[in-house]
Amino acid sequence: MTIKSYNPSNNALLGEMESTNVFEIKAIVNKSRLAFEKWGNLTKEERIAYIQKLYDEIKSKKEEFAKLLTNEMGMPISESLFDIDSGLEHIKWYMNNVKSIIGEKITYEDENEVDKIIFEPKGVVAVIIAWNFPFSSFVWQAVPNLIVGNTVVVKHSEYVPLCSKYIFDMVSKVLPENVYSVVYGDGEVGEELVKQNIDMICFTGSTKIGQKLYKIAGEKFIPIVLECGGSAPGIIFEDADIDSVIESIYTNKFANTGQICDGQKRLIVHESKFLEVCEKLKQCIESKKIGSPLEKNVEIGPLVSIQQLEKLEEQVKDAIKKGAKVICGGKRLELDNGNYYFPTILVNITKDMKVYNEEVFGPVIPIIKFKTLEEAIKIANDTEYGLGGYVYTLDKTKYDTVVKKLKTGMIALNNLYYLRPCNPFGGYKKSGMGKNNSEFALKELCNMKVVTYEK
């Protein structure tokens, strides 16, 4: 089967390649297992030296790679450049900290004995990556596996095969053969990959697919890390200084054209601030430029595909049909045959609407009123997801109360954000299990062995 890559800003064909077949997948995994015998036995210092070469290679290709990310996925070029810088920051952190995190740990010692924990790589890891951050997801999931000694076989989304190939070419230039491998194709290729002789699965994508992979991992009795969907609430209390946080409110929702797993998907606003928030967010949105993502001053680009655009349209039409009011947007932007949708604010939201119950992956924000803190928490937690959360208040005591009651894996206050390589990234409920980044993720990619020594 041929995979075709389209530019979402105009739906022009960018390129195509053949999907990886079953026999090729099996051969790739077998080669990865053979490569693991050497890669897994290298010292940490030797692997760090290889990852440093990869860091340098990526950095040297930054401008060219950012342009490809923008052309294939639709991310505004300024955000693509930032995404690569952020990824490089994460790689540097892994290199600087891996030795202390998975070095030998003495757990017990007396006059006769010393007990240690030794961290060893698991083996061959299948890494399946979503389309919205082709590079960051590679950095978060593939690079930590490589640096702890695992070999990886990666499948990116079929929407971004050219980005996948570009990353493969960079990695192959500096790492030993078959330590990093790729397969190309849709969900069927990913399913075939995880059925092979692998030792772990790392996945970024929808909860539905995550649940399916979880069953496969359970049957194989291998570990799995799942970073799935989100419907992050943004709670704005009556004491919030709207003028000081309005840009953060905008960014937390509309960065990457709203295609962010932990992005702010529902805005929950105290009734005393409701009209102010609606008006000032509308003004903020209307000040942003929509257009070709290659233009440096464009802040909102196209959605990745026609399919994503049509799903978003369906969600908005459902809300309007059930009584929602459009404050701004609410329709396609006809521009160069691209997948553009006007940034949209919806109010008069009810619980039977898709925008309330489903993950809204695009530039649409439903805004809901609340009267009391308890009501705000109830609305915020009224979702099957629990990835990110955002709180806007000047009251630290109130914030601490929300932190204790909000069922999410990460929470940000006002203009702050939690995304750093030292912080674990992951959620509660159906937003997944396990963590990316931080010492916790690196340890999760290893087997722990307890060894006793005589003195």
pLDDT in tens, 161-208: 999 999 999 999 999 999 999 999 999 999 999 999 999 999 999 999
Q: State phi, psi for 71 to the nearest 5 degrees.
A: -65, -35
Reference 73, options 9, 22, 19, 136; nearest CA is 9
Q: Concatenated DSSP letters for 432-445?
A: EES-BSHHHHHHHT
Task: Say what the pLDDT of residue 312 is.
Answer: 97
What is the set of active-site residues? 227, 261
Mean pLDDT of the 278-295 span: 97
Residue 110 CA to residue 371 CA, distance in Å, equals: 60
Kindly tell me if the per-residue pLDDT of 232 is higher than 90: yes
Q: Where are the alpha helices (DSSP H) in 115-241?
A: 134-137, 143-148, 161-174, 187-194, 207-220
> Looking at the DSSP assignment, which residues form a beta bridge with residue 369?
269
Mean pLDDT of the 298-327 span: 97
Q: Concatenated DSSP letters for 100-139?
A: HHSS-EEEEE-SSEEEEEEEEE--EEEEEE-SS-HHHHII
Mean pLDDT of the 234-256 span: 98
Kindly tell me if the per-residue pLDDT of 441 is higher than 90: yes
> pLDDT tens across 133-170, in order?
999 999 999 999 999 999 999 999 999 999 999 999 99
Two structure tokens written together for 347: 């109010």
Task: Say what the pLDDT of residue 7 is.
Answer: 98
Two structure tokens written together for 43: 């010292």
Task: Say what the pLDDT of residue 260 is.
Answer: 96
CA 73 to chain centre: 14
Kindly tell me if the per-residue pLDDT of 19 is higher than 90: yes
Q: Where are the alpha helices (DSSP H) in 6-107?
A: 22-39, 44-60, 62-73, 77-101
Two structure tokens written together for 118: 């030794």
Strand runs (DSSP E) across 213-363, as ranges?
224-227, 232-236, 264-270, 325-328, 332-333, 340-341, 344-347
Q: Give the number of other CB atoms < 10 A from CB of residue 437.
A: 22
Two structure tokens written together for 379: 């609305």
Residues 6+ apart with CB under 8 A from 158: 3, 19, 184, 185, 186
Residue 56 CA to residue 392 CA, distance in Å, equals: 39
Contact 107, 117 (CB under 8 A): yes
CA dihedral sign of residues 146, 149, 150, 152 = positive
Kindly tell me if the per-residue pLDDT of 1 is higher than 90: no
> pLDDT tens across 105-114, in order?
999 999 999 9
Q: State phi, psi for 283 to the nearest 5 degrees.
A: -60, -40
DSSP assigned state of 14:
E
Residue 1 CA to residue 19 CA, distance in Å, equals: 5
Residue 7 CA to residue 14 CA, distance in Å, equals: 6
Task: Say what the pLDDT of residue 79 is.
Answer: 97
Q: Match 């991992």 to its residue by tokens.
A: 217
Residue 164 CA to residue 125 CA, distance in Å, equals: 17
DSSP assigned state of 449:
E
> pLDDT tens across 369-416, in order?
999 999 999 999 999 999 999 999 999 999 999 999 999 999 999 999
Contact 284, 250 (CB under 8 A): yes
Please, what is the average pLDDT of the chain?
Answer: 97
Residue 11 CA to residue 7 CA, distance in Å, equals: 5
Task: Say what the pLDDT of residue 389 is.
Answer: 98
Two structure tokens written together for 332: 């396609």
Task: Say what the pLDDT of residue 241 is.
Answer: 97
Kindly tell me if the per-residue pLDDT of 121 is higher than 90: yes
